[in-house]
Amino acid sequence: MAIIRLGTSELGGTFNLQGEAVAEYLRKSYDIEVHPFDGSSVACANGLHAGELDIGFSASNWVGRALRGEDPFEQPIDIRMVAPANVGPMFFVVRADSDLRTIDDMRGRRVSVNVRESGMFQHICTIFGVLGIGFDEFEPHYLGFADGADALRHGEIDAQWQCPIPNPLMTQLANDTDIRVLEWAPDQLQKVLDNVEFYRRASMEAGCLRGVDHVSPQVGVLNVITTHARVDDALVHDWVTAMVQNAAALGDALPLYKGLAALFDELKTEGASVFEPGGVKLHPAAKRAYEEAGLLS
């Protein structure tokens, strides 16, 4: 049986859950090896380059850097697009008894910004760069999601930068600790969206977590599934076909894929470029699968 070597985030993370969900539709034809990584976007791109992975998950802000060989990548990577994964809200969470209410309130406070090697940390650098918030204006703590949640739970930090929900670590934190989500000033959020091409407006709906009692606009990032130019056409074609044919079922089974069918529909109106961030082109076999599904002409 042919093998698909799949790179995802840490066990139980967003990309790990999404990868496992798609893999279930391919296991009759492929032996799926799941490789979980911390700092998954960079690790997956490097794994594709080294020939150690066939498919990898990434936030869209990393793929152009990988293609061009920009920091932190040591050489250009012949990376190709496979499919969208989701657009998820990223947000800051605080304890419910905190006096922090907005993004600006974090100045002078202890903030977990995730580990330095992670894509989530790079989002902080990008967003704070647009807003003019320097790292000398707060006390950064470089903690992974589990350690950051534990530190927030015990009052050792004041706020934590969190990855898109649903994810088990955030759900657990909300269920055992009274939390709130920090709000953006309307001009701040729009400024970030206007200045960063790979961000979209996203919302946290009321009731999505315990402690979220109203709709909260947030920054969303398009997460994507990638491959390498050398990867076998049949493998890429089968992966895309499994996602397209089962988009609704994936959304029912995993809330992270709730908007997947709508994302695929964007191909009809916007063309292939809508899923080619940073100049990274669709793998030819992925493009063919979308054409066969009537999503591209």
Summarize pLDDT for 19-40 with one digit per residue, the tens: 999 999 999 999 999 999 877 8
Q: For the chain, how many structural domains are there in total? A: 2
Whether 33 and 103 share a structural domain: no
Helical residues (DSSP H) of the chain, grouped into ranges: 14-23, 40-49, 60-68, 119-131, 145-153, 168-176, 186-195, 233-245, 247-253, 260-270, 284-292
Rounded to whole angstroms, the Cα distance separating 166 from 229 reads: 31
Q: Helices 40-49 & 119-131, crossing angle to 10 degrees?
A: 120
In the DSSP assignment, the letter for residue 10 is S
pLDDT number for residue 120:
85
Whether 56 and 164 share a structural domain: no
Q: Does residue 76 lie within any of the structural domains?
A: yes
Q: Does residue 208 lie within any of the structural domains?
A: yes
pLDDT number for residue 91:
97
Whether 92 and 195 share a structural domain: yes
Answer whether residue 164 shows pLDDT above 90.
Answer: no
Find the range with the poorest average confidence among 36-45, 88-97, 224-233.
Answer: 36-45
Whether 14 and 102 share a structural domain: no
* Domain-ending residue, one of 220, 252, 268: 220
The CATH number linked to 149 is 3.40.190.10
Question: Can you give the pTM of this predicted structure?
Answer: 0.79
* Domain-ending residue, one of 205, 220, 235: 220
In DSSP terms, 159 is beta-bridged to 111
pLDDT digits (tens, 9 = 90+) for 30-75: 999 999 987 789 999 999 999 999 999 998 989 999 999 998 899 9
166 pLDDT band (50/70/90 cuts)? confident
How many Cβ atoms sit within 10 Å of the Cβ of residue 175?
11
Whether 164 and 199 share a structural domain: yes
Whether 165 and 288 share a structural domain: no
79-95 and 110-112 as β-strands: parallel, antiparallel, unpaired?
unpaired
Higher pLDDT, 217 or 186: 217
79-95 and 179-181 as β-strands: parallel, antiparallel, unpaired?
antiparallel
Comparing CA positions, the residue from 46, 42, 71, 47 lying closest to residue 58 is 42
pLDDT number for residue 98:
97
pLDDT digits (tens, 9 = 90+) for 237-277: 999 999 999 999 999 999 889 889 999 999 999 999 999 99
What residues make up the domain containing 28?
2-87+222-292
Q: Does residue 297 lie within any of the structural domains?
A: no
On average, the pLDDT of the chain sits at: 94
Answer whether residue 221 shows pLDDT above 80.
Answer: yes
Whether 156 and 272 share a structural domain: no
pLDDT number for residue 230:
98
Comparing CA positions, the residue from 156, 166, 159 lying closest to residue 113 is 159
**120 Cα distance to chain centroid:** 8
First to last CA, the chain: 33
Tell me, letter by letter, the H, E, C secondary structure of 91-128: EEEEECCCCCCEHHHHCCCEEECCCCCCHHHHHHHHHH
Q: Does residue 128 lie within any of the structural domains?
A: yes
CB 90, CB 160: distance < 8 Å:
no
167 pLDDT band (50/70/90 cuts)? confident
Peptide bond preceding 84: is omega within 30 degrees of 0, i.e. cis?
no
Whether 119 and 182 share a structural domain: yes
pLDDT number for residue 141:
98
* Domain-ending residue, one of 202, 220, 238: 220
pLDDT number for residue 11:
86
88 pLDDT band (50/70/90 cuts)? confident
Whether 120 and 215 share a structural domain: yes
Whether 288 and 170 share a structural domain: no
Percent of the chain with pLDDT over 70: 100
Buried b vs exposed e over 258-288: b needs ≥16 C-beta within 10 Å? ebbeebbeebeeeebeebbbbebbbbebbbb
